[in-house]
Homo-oligomer: A and B are copies of this chain.
Amino acid sequence: MTARVLNGREVAKTLMEELAMSVGAMPTPPRLVFVRAGDDPASASYVRSKERLAAKAGVRSETRVFEASVTQEDLLREIASLNADADVDGILVQLPLYGHLRASEILDAIDPAKDVDGLHPVNVGLLWSGRPGLVPATPAGLIRIMEHYVLPFEGQDVVIVGRSNLVGKPAAALFLARNATVTLSHSRTRDLASVTRRADVIVAAAGQPGMIRADMVKAGAVVLDVGQAPVDGVLRGDVADDVAGVASAVTPTPGGTGPMTVAMVVANTVHAAKARRG
């Protein structure tokens, strides 16, 4: 068997077209504000790619860049002002922040209704309580890929490898809400291969390039690869190449879950705008 390739770029394109139509029907387009206060060069280019994609959907976006001299109080004041601004629908603080800043306090200060990253405790709590809220972009993108290719959720054994707040844990909540049986595995899991081998769906989100090998995958499983790490200058996922010979479907790296993450941030902004404006 050669696995079907789940083309994240294509799914993202379809989603962006839907969002553009949805935004076109709104009296005022949604507005997303990025806050950047760090010197990580990758972070700057990541924000630019999000801004470009937002523009494609008709979402207004802008980036507020702070120098290294910025204080915790400056940033908290900025967040408070964005929270209070009725014309702002989404706020995204790009991590990592400068080392002297306390990121957690700054992220907690964002109005949960504008938290398009979905990482505020209120949004995490709403997600796990089965209530509407903003959901982290990467796991939301996994669900959207599954839906696009009409892959089943109900009763599926889903094994998630990696338990980060950003991906593994919220992915568990989303698959559970769709009636999958969900296992959260991680670095302390005993005999990981025996766990992944029973999965109908594997979410590889450990950040260990190539760690999921063909012998860890049941024939016909769906494998979603969230890992993205540069290896010798090439972006590599958590899923080894030989998995494509066993799985029924895999996301490629690049071009799989990555493009969906950026698109889902834009989708969250549109959701947030609609929810806020009633």
List the interface of chain A (C-beta within 8 A of B): 119-126, 128-131, 133, 154-155, 157, 163, 165, 169, 172-173, 176, 179, 181-186, 188-190, 195
Contact = CB atoms under 8 A, between A and B. Distances in A.
A125 B123 CA distance: 7
B120 A125 contact: yes
B182 A183 contact: yes
A131 B103 CA distance: 14
Nearest to A168: B176
A185 B179 CA distance: 9
Per CB-CB distance, the 5 closest pairs between chain A and chain B, nearest first, are: A121-B125, A125-B125, A124-B125, A179-B188, A155-B190
Contacts of A184: 172, 176, 181-183
Contacts of A182: 183-184
Q: How many copies does the complex hold?
A: 2
A153 to B, nearest CB: 9
Nearest to A154: B188
A165 B122 CA distance: 15
Contacts of A125: 120-126, 128
A173 to B, nearest CB: 8
A217 to B, nearest CB: 18
A169 B121 contact: no
A119 B128 CA distance: 10
19 contacts: A120-B125, A121-B121, A121-B125, A121-B126, A122-B122, A124-B128, A124-B129, A125-B125, A125-B126, A128-B173, A155-B188, A172-B172, A179-B188, A181-B188, A181-B190, A182-B183, A182-B184, A183-B183, A183-B184
Contacts of A181: 183-186, 188-190, 195
Contacts of A120: 125
Contact of A129 (B133, B165, B195): B165
Nearest to A157: B190
Contacts of A155: 188-190
Nearest to A119: B129
A124 B122 CA distance: 8
Contacts of A124: 124-125, 128-129
Nearest to A194: B198
